[in-house]
Structure 1
Amino acid sequence: MLEEITIENLGVIGRAQIPFGRGLTVVTGETGAGKTMLLTGLSLLMGGKADQGRVRAGAERATVEGRVLVDAGSAVAERVTEAGGELDDDGSLVIVRTVASQGRSRSHLGGRSVPVGVLAELADDLVTVHGQSDQLRLRAPSQQRATVDAVAGPDHLALLGRYREAWQRHVELDAQIAELVERRAEREREAAALRTALAEVERVAPQPGEDQELDAVIARLGHVEELRGHTALAHAALTGDELGVDDAPTAAALVEEARRELEAAARVDPGLEPFVVRAAEIGYLVAEVGADVSGYAHGLAADPASLESAHARRAELGTLARAHGTDVDGVLAWASEAGLRLLDLDSGDERVAGLQAESERLGALLDDLAAQITRNRSDAGAAMAQAVTAELAGLAMAGAELEVTVEPAEPAVHGRDAVTILLRPHPGAPPTPLGKGASGGELSRVMLAVEVVLAQAAQRAGAAPATFVFDEVDAGVGGRAALEVGARLAALARTAQVVVVTHLAQVAAYADHHLVVTKSSDAAGDVVTQSDVRVVVDEERVAELARMLSGQDGSDAALTHAAELLELGAQARISAA
């Protein structure tokens, strides 16, 4: 239940605190006094779009704070906890929304900053808002279908959700099948090209790192004489063996001489013994390197045939590398991926068959779900027509009948039905769609009747919101019809909190609580302040109803009529209780 809203710097409202009670609360006031800002503030609390242009001129930000009473353990309370917020000790939830004149809006839920989307998630469980624009929406076929679906109840909505999921998957499958079939020739060309390329790779049979090994072989075979010269000098410098260059001291001889000198010194100072050992090790290493260099030198031989073969192999590998990678390892990686791609291409027909089988299965499921949805809509449409017709009789439209037709239509994401709500305004008149034949006043009453039926259906399912807000839902209604609208709103308020913004005294007379919004004029311009939103009772309430009836203050006739309306409303509330 909505307990109160505090608004600062929103439109014409400087600061106002609006209290709400149980039952029916009406909000009245002169045109332009700021009543609409109440709905704007409520929309912001429920996650509506923030409009910087709504921030009062000269203010940095507009702030709306709402206090809502929620049940512990309810879905709303659980979502608040998930978002990190908390309920107050009395079970009330504080929601705050700020809109900066320059910058982003901010949202707080239960003392915790949250994305505005979280507020929108809670909206359907907290408040249902209907305004004059809903009359226009009720003209739309999609809205009429959604209304019948809502009357059908949560099980039907869950069934509709399953249908939508199956429909989306079916659409995706058909698109995949169409693409596979359409691209069959292209896939075959791609597969043929891959087979040719993979066959060439298989023929060449490159080995990992083979190109680098060939580069080394080519470098060695192409510089045999140069390598011989260098290795001969190196060997002579190390050991001075049969490669014999001159009689210069060799590394082996010098190391051996050093070892002997260290060995002689170690006889005097045993501490030099480790040096002797290390010198001996160096000698062994010099001898070993010399032997290896000698072996390498003796293995060098000019081999034009091997060099030519290595060049040919390297060229073959280079051709593959240029086609499929930067080197042999890149070619092998490409071949691995290409093999997988070829398997995928070759399995195209099998995939088509598998997708077609799944599509047929989903098609059968959609047929079954659509048939159930149609039955549900037909039953709900008939029940809704009967219930709304009964409501219209109590809204000064006796003899009017509502009809709901459910006819076959092209399959779509919402089912296979065209749902149309028709109104027969009086016996003998042909039924016409709401979007064509109903007047504004008739649409107002039809919408109210539909809303009552929806509320009753939601209450039966245990899913009714705690609060209904109507913004001038009585537009275009007057006389006895206005009295009946007031009586019906009061009846709805027996099981839910109802807030109505109205210009009709006949409606306001049925309220349990009456709020009046006025607007002061000062040096800062027109503004609604804290003192300009007040609860009126007794004589003040009679005076406000009289103003609404006559458009002026102090009319004796209007005052008498207002008192009669209040008496009528009080009697209706007593008899309803």
Structure 2
Amino acid sequence: MVCSVLEEMRIRSLGVIDDAVVELSPGFTAVTGETGAGKTMVVTSLGLLLGGRADPALVRIGAGKAVVEGRIAVPAGAAAVVRAEEAGAELDDGALLISRTVSAEGRSRAHLGGRSVPVGLLAELADDLVAVHGQTDQQGLLKLSRQRQALDRYAGDGVAVPLAKYSEAYRRLRAVSTELEEIVTRARERAQEADMLRYGLEEIAAVEPRAGEDVELAEEAERLGHAEALSSAATAAHAALAGNPEDPEGIDAATLVAGAHRALEAVRSHDPALAALADRIGEIGILLGDVAGELAGYADDLDADPLRLAAVEERRAALTGLTRKYGDDIDAVLAWAEQSAARLGELDGDDERIGELTAERDALRSELGGLAQALTDARGRPPSGSPPR
């Protein structure tokens, strides 16, 4: 049988212990030391992890609280694992992480698998996790649950098989009952959540935003708001590159580059190095011509329509109304809408889900009764190979 194993404990500000880590290796581990070294505090720490009473007098003098943390490896499917997961705990590589904090004022907190839990839950799991042997500590065999477990193990598969079926049905019944109770008891909250989601989705649908639309409109608004400055700059740049027809005496870059190119072309045959420079200047002339043409087209196409600018700003205001409520940008708003639509579908399906869960719960109760009777009958039969009564 695979048992739970306490792998490590960390103790801080408990009794004579300031900060210590107890690492337990596989097999037998002996903790020794002189009187007052803290051996008793190690056992006390274990008791706190197992839901023992928290005594504020145990907190180290000068400390605000004592903390005990433990790591217990547990086999998959163990009763302690099932109960811990029902409480919302999560395993860490097959181990349960348990923490207990005791303040100097007497307050006590417990955490199991990353979730805050009642101290009573640790006490409930204690018998399945650790056995403490001592003069008066070992009382496990007096408990009916331990006696039944011992007898069930002795009976073998004759009891193990129906017990496994019963346990599985019981776990499913608890899960179904918990979900059903959560839906029913939180009906008002869920209705309010559905109304809020429905309102948000209707508001977004009324605006009909497109992905990336806010970015596109911001760029267009910036361009329209500075249309005159952009047009003036493009015209001036075009005149500097290609010349201004209204100023025939002006000197432009294209004319200067063309003159330089002609000068080098006349003598390029005398030196290959100069010929290469002439080719590069020719490429510059072509590039200047292309840029000048694009600048002319840009200036002609630039829209300075104030009505369009007003429409863009109005549309941006509508989109901003959405981003203030539902996301940092329109893409985030659309993501919220998608998630909210899915959530709304779940909430609107509560009535149907309640009916499904109620039917499943009733069926499981009926099935559980039959499995319980089969388990009782199996426990009443002598195990195979046992001597006759």
Q: TM-score band (shorter)?
A: 0.5 to 0.7
Do residues 276 (structure 1) and 278 (structure 2) align? yes
How far the C-alpha of 1:156 sits from its partner, in A, is 0.8
Do residues 363 (structure 1) and 347 (structure 2) align? no
Q: 1:331 to 1:131 in 2, by over 3 A?
A: closer
For 2:31, what is the secondary structure of its paired residue? strand
Q: 1:208 to 1:274 in 2, by over 3 A?
A: farther
**One-letter amino acid of the counterpart of residue 234, structure 1:** A
- Name the structure 2 match of 1:229: 232
In 2, the alpha carbon distance for the partners of 1:49 and 1:193 equals 48
Q: 1:369 to 1:258 in 2, by over 3 A?
A: same
Q: 1:291 to 1:366 in 2, by over 3 A?
A: same
Are the counterparts in 1 of residues 6 and 73 from structure 2 also a CA contact under 8 Å? Answer: no
**One-letter amino acid of the counterpart of residue 371, structure 1:** Q
Are the counterparts in 2 of residues 221 and 307 from structure 1 also a CA contact under 8 Å? Answer: yes
Are the counterparts in 1 of residues 201 and 337 from structure 2 also a CA contact under 8 Å? Answer: yes
Q: 1:172 to 1:276 in 2, by over 3 A?
A: same
- Name the structure 2 match of 1:99: 31
How far the C-alpha of 1:291 sits from its partner, in A, is 1.6
Q: Which of the numbers 187, 192, 197 marks the counterpart of 2:195?
A: 192
- Name the structure 2 match of 1:258: 260
**One-letter amino acid of the counterpart of residue 316, structure 1:** A
In 1, the alpha carbon distance for the partners of 2:319 and 2:376 equals 68
Q: 1:209 to 1:103 in 2, by over 3 A?
A: farther
How far the C-alpha of 1:47 sits from its partner, in A, is 7.0
Q: Note the alpha carbon deviations across 1:306-344, whole angstroms, 9 max, x for none.
A: 111111011011111111111111111111211221222
- Name the structure 2 match of 1:330: 332
Are the counterparts in 2 of residues 224 and 301 from structure 1 also a CA contact under 8 Å? Answer: yes
Structure having the larger proportion of residues in strand: 1
**One-letter amino acid of the counterpart of residue 256, structure 1:** A
Q: TM-score, normalised by structure 1?
A: 0.43
Are the counterparts in 1 of residues 158 and 378 from structure 2 also a CA contact under 8 Å? Answer: no
Q: 1:134 to 1:343 in 2, by over 3 A?
A: same
Q: 1:212 to 1:323 in 2, by over 3 A?
A: same
Are the counterparts in 2 of residues 231 and 294 from structure 1 also a CA contact under 8 Å? Answer: yes
- Name the structure 2 match of 1:349: 351
Give the alignment of 1:414-563 within 5 angstroms. 460=386
In 2, the alpha carbon distance for the partners of 1:48 and 1:239 equals 85
In 2, the alpha carbon distance for the partners of 1:309 and 1:346 equals 38
- Name the structure 2 match of 1:21: none
Q: 1:274 to 1:370 in 2, by over 3 A?
A: same
**One-letter amino acid of the counterpart of residue 335, structure 1:** A
- Name the structure 2 match of 1:174: 177
Give the alignment of 1:49-68 within 5 angstroms. none
Q: Note the alpha carbon deviations across 1:383-404, whole angstroms, 9 max, x for none.
A: xxxxxxxxxxxxxxxxxxxxxx
Give the alignment of 1:203-222 within 5 angstroms. 203-222=206-225
- Name the structure 2 match of 1:159: 162
In 2, the alpha carbon distance for the partners of 1:231 and 1:153 equals 92
Larger Rg: 1
Q: 1:301 to 1:133 in 2, by over 3 A?
A: closer
How far the C-alpha of 1:290 sits from its partner, in A, is 1.1
Q: 1:299 to 1:131 in 2, by over 3 A?
A: closer
Are the counterparts in 2 of residues 207 and 328 from structure 1 also a CA contact under 8 Å? Answer: yes
Are the counterparts in 2 of residues 156 and 373 from structure 1 also a CA contact under 8 Å? Answer: yes
For 2:266, what is the secondary structure of its paired residue? helix
How far the C-alpha of 1:150 sits from its partner, in A, is 4.8
For 1:99, what is the secondary structure of its paired residue? coil
How far the C-alpha of 1:234 sits from its partner, in A, is 0.8
Are the counterparts in 2 of residues 149 and 377 from structure 1 also a CA contact under 8 Å? Answer: yes
Fraction of identical pairs, as percent? 38
Are the counterparts in 2 of residues 50 and 99 from structure 1 also a CA contact under 8 Å? Answer: no
How far the C-alpha of 1:266 sits from its partner, in A, is 0.9
Are the counterparts in 2 of residues 149 and 157 from structure 1 also a CA contact under 8 Å? Answer: yes
Q: 1:260 to 1:179 in 2, by over 3 A?
A: same
Q: TM-score, normalised by structure 2?
A: 0.61
- Name the structure 2 match of 1:238: 241
- Name the structure 2 match of 1:285: 287
How far the C-alpha of 1:253 sits from its partner, in A, is 0.8
Q: 1:178 to 1:272 in 2, by over 3 A?
A: same
In 1, the alpha carbon distance for the partners of 2:290 and 2:139 equals 101
Are the counterparts in 2 of residues 236 and 245 from structure 1 also a CA contact under 8 Å? Answer: no
Q: Which runs of 5+ in 1 are unaligned?
A: 1-45, 52-82, 84-94, 106-114, 122-129, 381-456, 462-577
Q: 1:331 to 1:246 in 2, by over 3 A?
A: farther
- Name the structure 2 match of 1:303: 305
Are the counterparts in 2 of residues 238 and 290 from structure 1 also a CA contact under 8 Å? Answer: yes
In 1, the alpha carbon distance for the partners of 2:6 and 2:254 equals 93
**One-letter amino acid of the counterpart of residue 162, structure 2:** L
Deviates more, 1:294-303 or 1:210-219: 294-303
Are the counterparts in 1 of residues 7 and 73 from structure 2 also a CA contact under 8 Å? Answer: no
| Cα RMSD for the two superposed structures | 3.8
Q: Note the alpha carbon deviations across 1:63-105, whole angstroms, 9 max, x for none.
A: xxxxxxxxxxxxxxxxxxxx9xxxxxxxxxxx65443548999
Q: Note the alpha carbon deviations across 1:109-157, whole angstroms, 9 max, x for none.
A: xxxxxx9969xx9xxxxxxxx9986996554443454455455444213
- Name the structure 1 match of 2:204: 201
Are the counterparts in 2 of residues 224 and 302 from structure 1 also a CA contact under 8 Å? Answer: yes
In 2, the alpha carbon distance for the partners of 1:169 and 1:346 equals 24
Q: Note the alpha carbon deviations across 1:466-507, whole angstroms, 9 max, x for none.
A: xxxxxxxxxxxxxxxxxxxxxxxxxxxxxxxxxxxxxxxxxx
- Name the structure 2 match of 1:438: none
Are the counterparts in 1 of residues 194 and 344 from structure 2 also a CA contact under 8 Å? Answer: yes
